[in-house]
Chain A
Amino acid sequence: MSKADAGPIDLTRPKIIGTSVKRVEDPRLLTGHGKFTDDLKLHGTLHVALVRSDHAHARIDAIDTGAAREMPGVVGVYSAAELDQMARPAFATSKMKGYQATPVRALASGKVRFAGEPVVAVVAQSRYLAEDALAAIDIDYTPLDPLVDPEQASDEHAVKLYDDLPGNVLVARSFGMGEAEAVLADASQTVSGRFRFHRKSPTALEPRSYLADYEQGSRSLTLYASTQVPGIIRDCLVDILEMPGSKLRVVAGDVGGGFGGKASLNPEEILVCALARHLNRPVKWTADRMEDLLSTSQSFDEIVDAELAVAGDGTFLALKADILGDVGAFSIYPWTAALEPMQVAGFLPGPYKIENFQANVRAVATNKAPMGPYRGVGRPISAFVLERLIDMAAKKIGMDPAEIRRRNFVREDEFPHKIGSGIVWDRSGFLDCLEEVVERADYEALRRHQAAARAEGRWFGIGLASYAELTGIGSRLSAAPGMPINTGTESATIQVDSSGAVTAHFGIASHGQGLETTLAQIVAEEMGVRLEDVEIVQGDTAAVAHSTGTYASRSAVIAGGAGTLTAHTLRSKVIEAASHLLEADIKDIDFAESLISVRGTNKTLSLRELARAVYSQMGSLPSDVRAKVDLQASEFYDPHFGTTTCATHLAAVEVDPETFQVTIHTFVVSEDCGRVINPLIVDGQVHGGVAQGIGAALFEEVVYDETGQNISASLVDYVVPSAAEIPPMTVHHLDALAPSTLGGYRGMGEGGTIGAPAAIANALSDALGHLDVEVSELPMTPERLFRAVEAARAEKEDDA
C-alpha cells in the first residue's frame, strides 16, 4: 500500500476527479460511429436463426431438418446431437450445501424446459435466408405438465424439470440471528403480509448479439459479444470448448445497456463459438426483441411472507421471512439459482438494527426463462418488503414514517454493524440520507399538501424508502451467495509507449456507465497527465491477464482502485527517469498535466521526450536506472469486503379515483455514494436506476400464462416507461462518512432501482390509506389498484 503514497499531487491544481467532464465515449456514439456487436462486419460471415421451443415443457422426440438443409443459402442445420459433440455443458457451481446444479447448453438436449429455449440452429448466408428455413424444420414433441406456479413446482410430488435431480428446489437455506420466532410470538405489535414482486426483464435496448470469428491458421477464436462479463465468458468457454485462453478472446465493444441481462453465460454465446470453429467461418447471431424478451435472463420473481414485530416506541424487535424465488428453467452461470432469492434474504434487514432475524429461502425451478441478475439483484424486493412492513407498523402505532426510520437506523457510532443475515455495514450515512430527503423535499409541506388534497377527496400519498447495499465487493465475499468464483479484485496495466502516449488497460466492461471517462479521470489525476492524453482499453480479455467485467456496482471502486495504485507506481517511474534526464533531485521534479519540469527552473520534458529517451536513445540512462524505469506498471486492488452505499427515496403520488392512473408528483433521492468521480455520470446513473424502479413498480411484468407461454414478449406487452411516464426528479449526492476504499469511492450504479419500487409502493399505500389498502404486489398497474380498492371497499361494507 506504500505505493499509494508515492508521487504527491499538488492540491492547488484543478481537479479532474469530481468534475463533470464531458464523456469521451460521446462523439462516436452521437454520430453513429459506435461499434456495437451487430455493427461489426467480417468477411464471409454466416448468420444464425434459431428454432425456439413453443412448448414450456416437453420431451423432444424427433427433429427433421432435411427440408431446411435444401433451402437457398443454408449452410448447415444443427441440433443438440451435433452441438453436444462440439461443446461441453457449463455448470454453475456453488459452495451451498444441497445446491443442485443444472447444465447450460447451446441447444436443448432431450427436453425443452421453457418456451423460447433454443432447439435448432440454422446457419445461412444471410439472416433473411436463415429465417426462411426455420419454417421447414419439423420437431416432434411430447408435451409434459408445465410448471408455472413456483409453489406447485416446489411440491415434492410435482413433475420434475430434471429427471436426475431429487426435485425442483435447487437451493433451500435457513439462517438468522437471535430468536425471531419467539419474539414475534410474544410481541404485542406485529405487522405481516404476503408480498409478491412479479418477474421483470432487464430489457437493455440493444438486443443480445454475438459474433464468433475462428482463425484456422492460428487455431484461435474471438467472440465479439454484447456482454457485461467478457472475462467470465472467456474463462468458461476455455473449459467447455477445451481451448487455451491464449487462443480464446472475448471482446465487448460498445454494449447497448446490460442491467444484468448481459451478465451471465448465454446458450447463444456457446453456439456461435462452436459453430464458427466447426465451419471455419465467422458466425453471427443477433436476437430480435421477441427472442430477447423470451430468452434473456429475467429477474425479481419472488413471493415473500414476512412479519415484523415492533415495540410501542417504534423499535424494531424481530423480522422473519419465508422467501420463494421462481428461478426458471436452469441455474444461471456463474451466479447460480441462489443469487436472487438469497440476496432478498441477505439484505432484508436493511439499514436498521433488528436484533432477531430469521429467513427461510427456497429457489425453485419452473418452466420459465432462467432468473439471473437484474440491477439491484434481490434488494429491490428486500426494500419493498421491509419498507412496506415499516410503514404498516408506523401506521399501526400512530408514528410518522420518517420518525420510525430515524429511531431504528444504525447510527454513526455503531459502525461497523453486522445485520441478522451476517452482512456487515462498514459505515454510511443512513440517517444523513433520510434527513437530506426530508429537508430537500420539504416533507412537512408535502404532508400539508396531502392534507389539503385529501380534504378535496383526492388520493395523494407520500412514501419513503431507505436501503443499504454492499458495493465494490472484495475477495473476502462472494458477489453471488455461495459462488466459488472470486470477483473481488481488479488489476490495471498502464503504459507510456515509445511515442509518449498513455494507455491504461482494465478488466471491466462498460456498457453505458461511461467508464472510459471515469477511469480516464482517475488515471489522469493520479498520474499527472491531461485527461485527453489517456486512452482506456476495457471490455477485452486480451487487455489483461484476468478480468471478470462490470456488474454488482463494482467497477468504479475496484477498477478505480487498481487504476489509482497503478497510476502512482507509473508516476514514480516517470519522475525517477526524469530526475536522471533533467539532472535534478526527485523531490524537485514536478509532473502535472502531462508535462515534467524541475521546480524553480525552466527545464521541462514532455512525456514524448521522456519516452524517447527511456526507450530509444542510446546512453541516455544508466542501465540500472533504465531497468527500473520501464514505463509501464501493473497493480492489483482488492477492497477485501467492499463498502456500504445507502440512500433514501421519497415519492409523492396521486391516484386518479376514476381511471386509477398514477401520477408521480415528486421524486427525491438522497444517496451516500462516497467521493463522486463525475457528478453528471453519477446523476445519470441514479436517474436511470430510478426510471427502472418506476417501471418495476407501475408498469413492467413478464407474464406467463397457465401453459407456460410468455404472453408479454413484445414491447407492446412488456411496458418499458417512456419520457411521458418518468417524472423529473431531484437527486442529492452525499459523501457523509468516508469509506475505507481507495479513493473513497462507493459503487452506485444499481441503487436507483432498489429504492424506487418501495418508495412508490409506500406512497400508493399512503394515498389509499383511507381505504386501508396495503400495497403488497408490484407492479401496481391501474387494474391491480382498481381491484385492491374494490376489495377494500367490499371488506368495509362487510364490516359495516
Chain B
Amino acid sequence: MSSKHRLQLKVNGVAHDLEVEPRLLLSDFLRDELDLTGTHVGCEHGVCGACTVLLNGDSVRSCLCLAVQAEGGEVTTVEGLGTVDQLNVLQEMFREHHALQCGFCTSGMLMTATDLLSKNGQMSDEELREGLSGNLCRCTGYEHIVNAVRAAFAERGGDSA
C-alpha cells in the first residue's frame, strides 16, 4: 500500500484537509470519504458521464481523475446545486420536463448541463445534443433532457451566465 498524501480542497464550498492514498479516484473520494453519494459511478472508464462533477468550473469525469489531482481546487457535485425543498432552475426544468426516470445518470447530466449553461449563450438543439452526448442515459431517449436544458437556457435568458 502506498503512503498517503495530504489533500486540501473545497467541495461544494466546504473546505477539507485530509490524507488520501494517491491511487484513490476522485469519484471514490467523494462517495466513500465525503459521503457525497450523489455522484454515481456508471462505467469507470470515462464513457458514460454519470460521475461528472465540476472541478474549478469545468466538467470532469471523476472516475478518470485522482482525488489528489483536485489538490487546491474547488469541486462542485450535484449536492452543491439546489436542495430537495428548493431545486435550482435546471433541476426544476428536469422535473417539469420529465428528463429523468431512474435518476442514475441524472447527477452527471445536471453537472454537464450546468457547465454548458455557464459557458454558452444560446445553444441550438443540435449543439445541445452534441454537448450532452458524453453523458449516456438509458431511460429517457434524451428528448426530454434536451427539452429541460433548452428550457433552463430560456429561463436564464441573456447571453451567458
Contacts and interface: CB of A to CB of B under 8 A. Distances in A.
Interface of A: 20, 22-23, 25-34, 36, 38-39, 41, 72, 128, 203-207, 254-257, 259, 288-289, 511-514, 680-681, 683-684, 687-692, 714-716, 720, 722-724, 726, 728-729, 752
B59 interface: no
Nearest to B129: A723
Nearest to A720: B136
10 contacts: A30-B81, A30-B103, A32-B77, A36-B104, A128-B23, A256-B105, A257-B139, A288-B44, A723-B133, A726-B141
Given A23-B95, A36-B104, A688-B140, 20 more contacts: A29-B103, A30-B91, A31-B79, A31-B81, A32-B38, A38-B41, A205-B48, A205-B104, A206-B42, A256-B40, A257-B102, A288-B44, A687-B143, A689-B141, A720-B138, A722-B133, A723-B133, A726-B142, A728-B146, A729-B143
A726 B130 CA distance: 11
Interface stretch (B3-11, B65-73, B82-90): B82-90
Contacts of A203: 138
**Interface of B, helix, strand, loop or mixed by DSSP:** loop
A255 B82 CA distance: 22
Contacts of B136: 205, 715, 720, 722
Interface in B115-161: 125, 128-130, 132-146
B102 A205 contact: yes
B36 interface: yes
Contacts of B96: 22
Contact of B132 (A28, A289, A723, A729): A723
A687 B141 contact: yes
B46 to A, nearest CB: 9
A684 B144 contact: yes
Which of B42, B81, B139 has its CB near the most chain A CB atoms (within 10 A)?
Answer: B139
Contacts of A254: 102-103
A648 B48 CA distance: 31
**Which interface residue of B21, B48, B103 has the most chain A CB atoms within 10 A?**
B103
A406 B90 CA distance: 45
Which 10 A-B pairs have CB atoms at the shortest separation, nearest pair first?
A: A32-B38, A256-B104, A29-B103, A512-B102, A687-B141, A691-B141, A39-B37, A512-B101, A715-B47, A32-B78
B15 interface: no
B66 to A, nearest CB: 13
A702 to B, nearest CB: 15
Given A206-B102, A723-B132, A31 B82 contact: yes
Contacts of A726: 141-143
Contact of A289 (B40, B45, B82): B45
B101 A514 contact: yes
Contacts, number: 184
B139 A714 contact: no
B100 interface: yes
Contacts of A728: 125, 143, 146
Given A30-B87, A205-B138, A681 B102 contact: no
Given A205-B104, A205-B105, A723 B144 contact: no
B50 interface: yes
B45 A729 contact: no
B36 A32 contact: yes
B110 interface: yes
B77 A257 contact: no
A716 B95 contact: no
Main secondary structure of the interface of A (DSSP, over half): loop
Nearest to B78: A32
A204 B42 CA distance: 9
A29 B83 CA distance: 11
B16 interface: no
Contacts of A206: 40, 42, 102, 104
Contacts of B77: 32
B94 A30 contact: yes
Contacts of A514: 101
A511 B83 CA distance: 22
A26 B91 CA distance: 9
A726 B23 CA distance: 37
A26 B94 contact: yes
A722 B143 CA distance: 11
Contacts of A729: 141, 143
A234 to B, nearest CB: 22
B107 A32 contact: yes
Nearest to B102: A512
A240 B117 CA distance: 53
B38 A31 contact: yes
Contacts of B143: 687, 726, 728-729
Looking at B39, B43, B47, B129, the one whose CB has the most chain A CB atoms below 10 A away is B43
A688 B47 CA distance: 19
Given A30-B91, A32-B107, A714 B45 contact: yes
A293 B35 CA distance: 27
A25 B146 contact: no
Nearest to B108: A205
B113 to A, nearest CB: 11
Contacts of A256: 40, 102-105
Contacts of B94: 26, 30
Given A204-B138, A723-B132, A33 B102 contact: no
Nearest to A289: B43
Contact of B42 (A26, A33, A205): A205
A473 to B, nearest CB: 23
Contacts of A41: 35
Nearest to A29: B103
B62 interface: no
Given A30-B103, A32-B38, A729-B143, A684 B91 contact: no
B87 A31 contact: yes
A535 B78 CA distance: 26
B38 A33 contact: yes
A34 to B, nearest CB: 5
Contacts of B78: 30-32
Nearest to B50: A205
B50 to A, nearest CB: 6
Contacts of A684: 98, 101, 139-141, 144
A30 to B, nearest CB: 4
Contact of B84 (A20, A27, A72, A128): A27
A349 B50 CA distance: 41
B1 interface: yes
B65 to A, nearest CB: 16
